[in-house]
Amino acid sequence: MTYIKHEKFWIKKHPHFDENWVQNIIADDPSILGLGDLILRDSERIQPRAGRLDLLLQDIDAIRRYEVELQLGTVDESHIIRTIEYWDIERKRYPQYEHYAVIIAEDITSRFLNVIGLFNGFIPLIALQMSALKMGDNITLVFTKVMDEMRLGLIEEDDDTQEKVDRYYWENKRGTPGTVGMVDRLFEIIKGFDNTLDLNFTKFYIGIVKSGQANNFVLFRPRKTKCNLEIRLEKSEGIEREMEEAGLDLIDYNKWNRYRLRLGYEDIDHHKDLLTKYLKQAYELSLK
């Protein structure tokens, strides 16, 4: 490796780069913000009587949304107010998600950090300071979190808002053909209860539909080497004990009444009887 000295420059003062350029860079790869595995939900999102939200990002598990506002140069009062206003509009329109307001600027002074800090705890705010660096003929952006959010509680997700995708998306962007194949094997078990059910491929999970209507008593989230399985069941110490004794990788029991399991390739065959039992229980509960 060779050391290359970088040169910091201000995007606001640069003749060839502007806010749209930065917005497109983030939209193409939201992970550069350091906020997790995020997906672009919308850009230049129209707000009722309030302008346009620069970027709306969402985590791949469809739980959290980030209302992102960009400002070149030094952050100012109007930028803070606009960020909070857009966050408030989105959280009221879509209360099923956990919402975070994100301010991005090239310079966030201590004075404005103090002002922003007054809201944190009441409004989940994240402040990111953006640096543009030139290294030879290359340019990169670095985002430094100077204020983190104080998280709010979760609310049940709204299935009707999920963006539809196809099998290719999950096999090549979220998971692999192998982990999506695990979904097929689990779905074969489910078809034994009701052969009119179908898989529903959305951007954030693979669910179940019956006659065109969502019936997500189970959700699948394939990853690169594992497949997360979420089964809607009533919380039970007996079930948790049974899972633990069987050696299943139980992630947690979330606020949407789902047991979340992390399955490897061998787990479906090894725990087929137990998984069949849970899937059938969840299906029967969905009919009540």
Number of domains in the chain: 2
Do 136 and 112 belong together in one domain?
Answer: yes
pLDDT at position 162 is 60
User: Per residue of the chain (288 residues), what is the pLDDT tens digit?
Assistant: 777 778 888 888 888 888 899 999 999 999 999 998 899 999 989 888 778 999 999 988 767 899 999 999 998 888 888 999 999 999 998 887 889 999 999 898 877 777 777 766 678 889 899 999 988 888 899 999 888 754 444 333 444 456 788 999 999 999 999 999 999 999 999 999 999 999 999 988 999 998 888 899 999 999 999 999 999 998 888 899 999 999 999 998 887 789 999 999 999 999 999 999 999 999 999 887
Do 114 and 239 belong together in one domain?
Answer: no
Q: Is residue 2 part of a domain?
A: no
Give the residue among 208, 203, 210 at the shortest CA–CA distance from 219.
208
Do 217 and 140 belong together in one domain?
Answer: no
Q: Is residue 152 part of a domain?
A: no
Domain range for residue 102? Answer: 7-147
Do 22 and 131 belong together in one domain?
Answer: yes
Please identify, among 93, 118, 147, the residue that sits at the C-terminal boundary of a domain.
Answer: 147
Considering the entire predicted model, what is its pTM? 0.54
Q: Is residue 78 part of a domain?
A: yes
**Cα–Cα dist 202/193, whole Å:** 23
Do 119 and 204 belong together in one domain?
Answer: no
Q: Is residue 246 part of a domain?
A: yes
Do 13 and 143 belong together in one domain?
Answer: yes
Per-residue exposure over 58-83, b if at least 16 CB sit within 10 Å of its own CB, e if not: bbbbbbbbbbbbbbbeebeeebbebb
CATH of the domain at 270: 3.90.1150.20
Number of Cβ atoms within 10 Å of the Cβ of 35: 21
Q: Is residue 154 part of a domain?
A: no
Do 134 and 167 belong together in one domain?
Answer: no
Do 101 and 185 belong together in one domain?
Answer: no
Cα distance from N-terminal residue to C-terminal residue, the chain: 63
Do 223 and 115 belong together in one domain?
Answer: no
CATH of the domain at 103: 3.40.1350.10
Checking phi first, is residue 228 left (phi over 0); if not, alpha (psi -120 to 50) or beta?
beta
pLDDT at position 149 is 59
**Cα–Cα dist 243/229, whole Å:** 13
pLDDT at position 176 is 96
Do 129 and 213 belong together in one domain?
Answer: no
Identify whether the C-beta of residue 217 lies closer than 8 Å to the C-beta of residue 232.
Answer: yes
Task: Give Cβ neighbours of residue 239 (< 8 Å, ≥ 6 apart).
Answer: 233, 259, 278
Identify whether the C-beta of residue 192 lies closer than 8 Å to the C-beta of residue 223.
Answer: no
Please identify, among 98, 114, 147, the residue that sits at the C-terminal boundary of a domain.
Answer: 147
Q: Is residue 155 part of a domain?
A: no
Do 168 and 111 belong together in one domain?
Answer: no
pLDDT at position 282 is 94
Q: Is residue 1 part of a domain?
A: no
Task: Give Cβ neighbours of residue 192 (< 8 Å, ≥ 6 apart).
Answer: 276
Q: Is residue 99 part of a domain?
A: yes
Do 127 and 180 belong together in one domain?
Answer: no
